[in-house]
């Protein structure tokens, strides 16, 4: 009896440090947090990431330092996140491209978008915009398709990377209309804008933040919304409204590595929810064409699982593969 009691006490004592180590620090965050943005500096994703990071810094009283990681349509950035320690000090702004579209077009990814990530929360939804140089002889999607059909060579277009939502929107258009397009990938929406301003390319598919900035220059015009209409360009019709049967939305969510303790998940998610209710944040997001749209991490993760299968089907039908 005494031996059993002593053994029990020893077992409890030995287990105490393990339990303590498993608990997240109550003062999280106690040092700066890295916020990975899957884009080069200057584009819409970069601006959005810095807006969220600035407000998270205020609410959680530690700097959220943006680190831009461009390339491969954001998959390099999310791969880096997935291999980070799940301690709350590395998080990332992700998109539909990085978590639901990439698995549909890449056979091999440097991360598992379902098992390798913790979804913190959805933070917004936004469309993709097809833009062209002002001198292109087409002012809407129908005229652009007719122009491409008459062209002896495939029309070159830019996006922020292979497998990006912009690339996917272009390939869907090509598949559904039979036109020939030639993809020129860049590292970020800002680089696409620069190439268009320099007349290197005539056409681009951009996230709405980068697209709004581009159109404001007066040298670039909108032709169509790949997904949904936006208050930024209320008179620019969608693909579906212009005769191309394609109607999907694209969104933004915040992620962390798999295994992040729930108390830290909840703390970041609460700060994000409060941030999206801030009138100044709402106004900035609306200016960029991003609709504030908070959804809890568990709910968004479940949507991601379903969307991956949907996009795999779309990719097979459109014959889109990238490796």
pLDDT in tens, 105-149: 888 899 999 999 999 999 998 889 999 999 999 999 999 999 999
More confident residue, 287 or 268: 268
Q: Among 250, 200, 271, which Cα is nearest to 35's?
A: 271
Top-level class of domain 33-125+249-318: alpha beta
The answer, yes or no, to whether the previous bond of 300 is cis (omega within 30 of 0) is no
Task: Record the tokens describing residue 281, joined without a space.
Answer: 């944040």
**Mean pLDDT on 16-33:** 66
In the block, tokens 């990530």 appear at 117
* Non-local CB neighbours of 8 within 8 Å, separated by 6+ positions: none
CA pair distance 138, 183, nearest whole angstrom: 19
Beta strands across the sheet bearing 203-207: 181-185, 155-159, 203-207, 128-133, 220-225
What's the predicted TM-score (pTM) here?
A: 0.74
Please check whether residue 176 is in contact with residue 279, taking contact to mean a CB–CB distance below 8 angstroms.
no
Using CB atoms within 10 A of its CB, is residue 264 exposed (0-12), middle (13-18) or buried (19+)?
buried
Do 293 and 120 meet the contact criterion of CB atoms below 8 Å apart?
A: no
List the single range of 29-38, 42-51, 294-303 with lowest mean pLDDT: 42-51
Asked if residue 240 lies in contact with residue 113, where contact means CB atoms within 8 angstroms, the answer is: no
64-120 pLDDT tens trace? 999 999 988 789 999 999 999 999 999 999 988 899 999 998 888 999 999 999 999
The fold for domain 128-242 equals D-Maltodextrin-Binding Protein; domain 2 (3.40.190)
Q: Where in the chain is the domain with CATH 3.40.190.150?
A: 33-125+249-318
DSSP 42: T
User: Given pLDDT bands bounded at 50, 70 and 90, which one contains residue 227?
Assistant: confident
Judge whether residue 7 has pLDDT over 90. no
pLDDT band at 319 (very low <50, low <70, confident <90, very high): confident
**How confident is the model over 174-200, as pLDDT tens digits?**
989 999 999 999 988 889 999 999 999
CA dist 314 and 310 (Å) reads: 6
Distances (CA, A) of 10 to 1, 13, 15, 16, 19: 14, 5, 9, 10, 15
The Cα–Cα gap between 176 and 49 comes to 34
- Amino acid 16: pLDDT: 42
SS (H, E, C) 170-228: HHHHHHHHCCCEEEEECCCHHHHHHHHHCCCCCEEEEEHHHHHHHHHCCCEEEEEECCC
- For tokens 């913790």, name the residue: 118
CA angle 146, 147, 152 (to 5 degrees): 115
Sequence-distant (6+) residues with CB within 8 A of 290 are: 48, 124, 125, 126, 208, 209, 252
Sign of CA dihedral 218, 220, 223, 226: negative
Q: Report whether 249 contacts 311 (CB < 8 A).
A: no
Q: Which regions of the chain carry the CATH code 3.40.190.10?
A: 128-242
Of 151-160, 224-233, 245-254, which one has max mean pLDDT? 151-160
pLDDT in tens, 229-283: 888 888 999 999 999 988 776 789 999 999 999 999 999 999 999 999 999 999 9
DSSP string, 132-184: EETTSS-SSHHHHHHHHHH-SSPEEEEESSTTSHHHHHHHHHHHHH---EEEE
């Amino acid at each position: 009896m005494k031996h059993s009691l002593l053994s029990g006490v020893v077992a409890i004592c030995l287990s105490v440090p393990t339990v303590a180590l498993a608990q997240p620090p109550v003062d999280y965050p106690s040092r700066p947090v890295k916020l990975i943005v899957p884009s080069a500096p200057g584009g819409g994703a970069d601006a959005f990431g810095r807006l969220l990071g600035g407000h998270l810094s205020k609410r959680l009283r530690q700097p959220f330092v943006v680190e831009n990681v461009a390339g491969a349509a954001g998959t390099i950035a999310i791969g880096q996140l997935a291999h980070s320690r799940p301690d709350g000090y590395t998080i990332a702004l992700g998109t539909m491209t990085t978590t639901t579209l990439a698995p549909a077009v890449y056979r091999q990814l440097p991360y598992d978008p379902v098992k390798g990530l913790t979804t913190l929360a959805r933070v917004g939804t936004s469309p993709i915009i097809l833009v062209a140089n002002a001198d292109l002889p087409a002012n809407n999607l129908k005229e652009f398709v007719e122009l491409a059909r008459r062209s002896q060579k495939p029309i070159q277009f830019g996006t922020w990377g292979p497998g990006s939502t912009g690339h996917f929107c272009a390939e869907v258009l090509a598949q559904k209309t039979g036109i020939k397009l030639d993809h020129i990938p860049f590292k970020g929406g800002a680089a696409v804008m620069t190439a268009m301003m320099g007349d290197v390319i005539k056409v681009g598919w951009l996230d709405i933040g980068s697209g709004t900035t581009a159109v404001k220059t007066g040298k670039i015009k909108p032709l169509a919304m790949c997904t949904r209409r936006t208050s930024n360009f209320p008179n620019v019709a969608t693909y579906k409204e212009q005769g191309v049967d394609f109607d999907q939305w694209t969104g933004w969510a915040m992620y962390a590595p798999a295994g992040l303790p729930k108390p830290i998940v909840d703390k970041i998610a609460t700060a994000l929810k409060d941030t999206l209710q801030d009138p100044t944040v709402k106004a900035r997001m609306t200016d960029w064409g991003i609709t504030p749209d908070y959804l809890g991490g568990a709910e968004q993760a479940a949507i991601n699982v379903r969307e991956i299968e949907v996009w795999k089907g779309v990719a097979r039908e459109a014959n889109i593969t990238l490796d």
